[in-house]
Structure 1
Amino acid sequence: MSPFLANLRKKIGGDLLMLPSVSGFVFDDEGRLLLARHGDVGLWAAPGGGVDPDERPEDAVVRELHEELGVDIEVRGLIGVYGGPEFRTRYPNGHEVAYVIAAYGCALAPGSAAPTPDEVEINDFRWVSEQELPGLSTTAWTPGVAPLAFAWWREHAR
């Protein structure tokens, strides 16, 4: 949890917060998507996290993927910005959050290390095809956004 968010939580406890966030939809050359299993909820989703005060969302997605998986990425474009009831989460500690997520299409930067989970927020990763995705236990928002991300990749693949 960022110091900014920790300070807010001291004041409001676990009450609902609406937070800006980012997700990096990282695709490999075969069109497979990098998914991360989030340790706090045990569900699969594109990696990402909160945007800090005064941070640009594009910089936040680069930072978050480096912190969580140790990878360097290139942001290739904005897939879209999403929110709604399926983006609301209650964490095991009782904190409730409604996210508005800027989803970015990304690729690993040349020379990037292989993904390595930080074992704090992320405890596993895998590369998945669009056909494999429905067989995974994902966050509530992933089934709505991932097909849009795969369509984005097909349109923008180099």
Structure 2
Amino acid sequence: MPISEFLAGVRAKVGNDLLILPSATACVFDDQGRMLVALHKEQGDVWAPPGGIIEPDESPDDAVVREVREEIGLDIRVRGLIGAYGGPLYRASYANGDQVSFVMSVYGCVVAGGALSPDGIEIDEARWLSEPETVGLPMPAWAPAIILEGFAWWRASRDTRSPAA
């Protein structure tokens, strides 16, 4: 779903003016330690971890689970909060003129089920990539830092997790 009913209603009142939007992003890892990255159509064909805005009365961790299911077709399990981010790198302009500044909750996640199936609306393609494979991909300004921190979180979580976890 490209724009929620809630956000469409807000946009009807404020037009393309800058909005500060809470969002949730998933750094999803497979058993080989590769991260899921998606080709985002609405942001100009750039690669980034999947995610989206948090709807009214929705928790950030529920939002990230919903967004990945809607956009990618995977059910995920949230393993931990990587961090919260905002600032100039997290601003975006969309083709329709909408201006946004995201405040992003980023979560470390693993796959719990489903099948990799990009929706073709917001996401054209999704890939599992190692950290070196992400270098050089066209990305929004915020994505490289999030990807680096995501991989650091994954390495740290593997070091402290018991074999049964």
Partner of 2:39: 37
Q: CA deviation at 1:144?
A: 1.3
Partner of 1:144: 145
Identify the match of residue 7 of structure 2 among 5, 8, 13: 5
**Offset from partner CA, 1:58-90 (integer Å, 9 cap, x none):** 100000000001110000000000011110000
Partner of 1:47: 50
Matched, 1:19 2:21: yes
Q: CA deviation at 1:146?
A: 1.0
Range with greater deviation from structure 2 (4-13 or 133-142): 133-142
Q: CA deviation at 1:46?
A: 0.4
Q: What are the equivalent positions in structure 2 for 1:7-156 lying under 5 Å apart?
A: 7-40=9-42, 41-109=44-112, 112-156=113-157
Query: Given the two structures, how large is their TM-score scaled by the length of structure 2?
Result: 0.92
Range with greater deviation from structure 2 (71-80 or 133-142): 133-142
What is the alpha-carbon root mean square deviation over aligned residues? 0.8
Identity of aligned residues (%): 53
Distance in 2, Cα, partners of 1:17 & 1:80: 21
Distance in 2, Cα, partners of 1:99 & 1:115: 26
Gaps of 5+ in 1: none
- Match of 1:22, SS state, is strand
**Offset from partner CA, 1:125-154 (integer Å, 9 cap, x none):** 111111111121111101111111100000
Gaps of 5+ in 2: none
Distance in 2, Cα, partners of 1:138 & 1:52: 25
Q: CA deviation at 1:113?
A: 2.3
Query: Given the two structures, how large is their TM-score scaled by the length of structure 1?
Result: 0.96
Counterpart residue type for residue 69 of structure 1: I
- Match of 2:106, SS state, is strand
Distance in 2, Cα, partners of 1:60 & 1:143: 22
Report how many aligned residue pairs link the two structures: 156
Q: CA deviation at 1:114?
A: 2.3
Distance in 1, Cα, partners of 2:152 & 2:45: 26
